[in-house]
Every structure is written in structure tokens, then in C-alpha cells.
Structure 1
Amino acid sequence: MSCWETIADYSLRSIGIGSRLLPKENFTLCQQFTLIGSGMIWNIYFGVFALLSGFFFAVTLAVGKNAKNPLFRKPAEWFIFLFRGSPLFIQFFFAYYLFLSLKQVVPIFAPFTAAWIGALVVLFFNTAAYSGEIFFGALLSIPKGDIEAADAYGMSGWNRFRRITFPTMLRLAWPAYTNEAIFLFHATTLVYFSGFPAWRQKGDALYYANYFADKTFNPFIPYPILAGYFIVLTLILIGLFGLANTRLHRHMPKEARRKIRYRPNLIR
């Protein structure tokens, strides 16, 4: 089988398109690159949807934690503390067995026991908690002069938040939020180790990397391939978030603009 035939058969296997059977012997580099790359579709799916939905929830959490009313502040504080204080790996297992128990009582929770939605919910809550704390710190760092100037112009409530508070918060938080987004995509590999089952043996990138490592007894080919895919994904994220950062600081002189720098979280 040529490499082009391998790509045609396996490039979309992780989403149920193409050959159903995995190669059993005579594994080639093309097969490993193709299947691991196919599994990246799921990692990108988890990362993109958790990041997009988690962004709006994170802003809500930050505003709630910054509120003076304890009815809004306390739930936001405890939510952020709970998901930042517990390991993501444990959250996956707890959520799986919670959804499994709820499934017995309310059948509507049956889809949540699958990785495509159950693991996504966990990643959504986790990144919302971390991002919410980042945005909360940015809210506290907004110069008082900006708020006083808004008050002087007669801005208040939603109008002030939309035109002054929210844009300034984003500008201050964006470098740290970029690193959170990168870590979120890296954390999608933990879905493989969670209790959520892969759908019909169509798992993420780590699922296929582990398959080849088990079959060939050589982890030094599939795992570096997996790492290479994530390095490329990280560079793409840095580029996209860098463009957004430039857009957020478009009104400032070039020497005053804050550049995006990748600062990996060694311990979370």
C-alpha cells in the first residue's frame, strides 16, 4: 500500500470515515503519521469547543468573583477554587462516574458517558475556572483612571463594561490567557487516560500513538510524532493569539505593545 493510499484510508478514521481495520503488521512511518494525525482531529475538537465556550463562562466567573454581592461572588469563588484546586485527571474520573450514575436515573445523560461530550464538559469547566481567575486578576489591574474617565463621560453599567472594562481586561489578560489556551490543548491528551471510552476504537492522537507503541514495542517513533503534531499546533495557536493581541493593542504605539510569549505551566 502506497503512502497516498494510506492517507486516503486512514486520514479520517478517527471520525468514522475510511478503513475500519487498523494495520496489524509491517507498520510504516506513513501509517503512524496518518493515524496519529487523524486522532488529532479529536484533540482539536476538544480544545476548540472547550476554549470557545469556556471563554464566555470565564468572563462571567470573573465578573461574579469581582461583584460586591456575595450571592454572585461566593458561587464564583467556590467554583474557581474547586476546579483549580483538584487535578484535571481526577475531574475526568469523577465526572464519568457521576454521569454514569445519572444515566441510570435520567436517560438523557447517556451521551455524557461518551468522551465526545462528557470529556468536553470537564475540559469546559476546567478551563473556565483557570481563565476566570486570569480575567479576575486583570479586572483588579484595570487602572482606576480608566474607570474614573468613563464615569466622567457619563458611562455606567453595561455601556462602561462593554466599552472600557471588558476591552481593558482582555488586553491585560491576553498573554496569560494564551498560555492557558495552549495548556488546554495539551491537556486534551488526558482524555485517553480518563474513564470516558473511545467511540468504536476511534480515539484521539494518544490512542493511536499508544497503539503503535504497543504493537512495535518502540515508543521512540509514535510518541515523538505525537509531540511534533502538538508543537505545530502550539505554533499555530501562538500565531492566532498573537494576531488577536495585535488587534487588541492596535491603538497603542508599537513600542508599548505587549508581545505574546509562551510560558509553559510545569506544574498545575
Structure 2
Amino acid sequence: MNTAPSSSSGCGSGCGCGSAAAPADAAAAGTRSGPTATINGVALHLPGQRPAEDELRERAYAELLRQRAVAQGLLPAYAGSVAPELGEPERQILEQLVDADVRSPQPQEAECQRYHQAHAAQFTVGQALHVRHILFAVTPGTNVQALAVHAEKALLELTHADSPPGRFAQLATELSNCPTSTQGGDLGWIGPDDCAPELAQALFHTQQHQARVGVLPRLVHSRFGFHIVEVLERREGTQPTYAEVRERIARLLAMQSRARALHQYMALLAGEATLEHIALDAADSPLVQ
């Protein structure tokens, strides 16, 4: 079961960074050698064929659930030494197991109201920014510290009072790893749903930047790397009333509550298991929701 949220395929509506550069946290493709990871003595992969860490964790969580289902008599015992592949019938049983075991509280009215007060800007409708950026992409093998210093040096130049008007477009053409470099880094008009979540947070949901036009004073870190961002123009949106977004907030908080409960549940299963050559969040006692 993959609970990772979906995300934009690039930095913005006019950007192809999703295909142009590997995400900063992307695991290397394929398998690699390493010690055999096991859960309660059951191997998660064949010897010498250790998967990338993200895939290995997915296998580990699936195996923890499979062993839980076996203990409850929902799946037959398994005598193999390597975790079996799960078919659709087995996955449905694991889904039913989780639904039966995991309980998460529903958000109360006061909680929804507090969330709205703290995140009102998140629900603004019709807001858009005309943005350009310079992307310093982080790819496998990149010296991240050196790249950050390089990006900071360019940012310092662009935020200096004497920086000429055309310098941003010039540096974007010279330095940016985004396909928009040929347009001086121009992403065009974008809204919160048109860009990577990290950029949306910095541009639309951070209070100190909400009224700002110009070069942001700090680098924006995203899954693609480091961004120097300049807001050229701004279209103010309208904020709906609490009543208009109350159901949306309730669904959001319910999803967050469910995610916390699932994380706790898997941590408890991991805490009860014997893990070798794999690190998972583990807990030995239930946590208060």
C-alpha cells in the first residue's frame, strides 16, 4: 500500500523539470548488493539483490501486514524463506485487516475552525502569480553543499541593490537546469496547484511572501533542487467563508488523522517484530491519538 501523496510533475505550469531532472530524493533505479533484510527471519529479497530503500520499506510494511494476517488466521501459514509476492486477493485481505485494526478520531468542529483560522490563505480561490526561477538541480552524485553555495552566491547577486534589470534572465539562461532557462526562467502564471508542493508553500502559503513582488530573499528547496524565485506580478484571489470550506477542512483533517493512525499502527507492528538490516520507525506501546 502506497500512501505517498501525488505531486506536480514539474516546478510550474510551463516547466518540464519533472522529466528534465531526477528528484533530489529519488532512489537509484534497479537493485544493489547489500545485506539481506529480514522480518522475523523472512527475507525481503534474494541474497545480493537488495532493492532501493523506498522499495525495501514498501516490501517490509507489506510483510509486516502479511504476518499479522497469518497470526489472525486471515491468510495461510507460509513456509518459504523469502517473502511471497502478494496477489490482489491477499492485498484485499490486508486492506480489510487494516480497516478493522486502525481507528482514527474524526475532527471536531472546534478543530476545523482552528485549522481555518491558521490556514485561511490555503483556501484562497483565483490567486495566481507570474513567476520566473533559476533551478539548481540536485541529481544523484551531486555535491549538494557545493551546489547550495553556488545557488546562494547567485541569489546574493540578484538581491543586491545594484543588480541590473536583465540580470535574472541572463543568469537563468546560464545557470538554470530547468527547460524554462531558454525563456529566462519564466514559468508564466501559476496557481498553488500548478507547481511542486514546496514551491506552492513558499509562494502561496507562507505569510511573509503573500504580498511580495520581487526576488524571494531565500532559496526555495524542492524535490528538484534549489530555486531562486522572482515574483513578477500577482493576482489576488478571494477567500471563501468558513462555512464554504468546512467540509473540505473536515476531509483534510480526517485524512491527516488516518495517516497518523496508520503510521502508529505500522510502528507498533515493527516494534513487535525482529528486524535485521532494515530500519523502520518502531514503537513498543500505543500512542494517544
TM-score, normalisation: structure 1: 0.24
Q: State the structure with more CA Rg.
A: 2
Higher strand proportion, which one? 2
Higher helix proportion, which one? 1
TM-score, normalisation: structure 2: 0.23
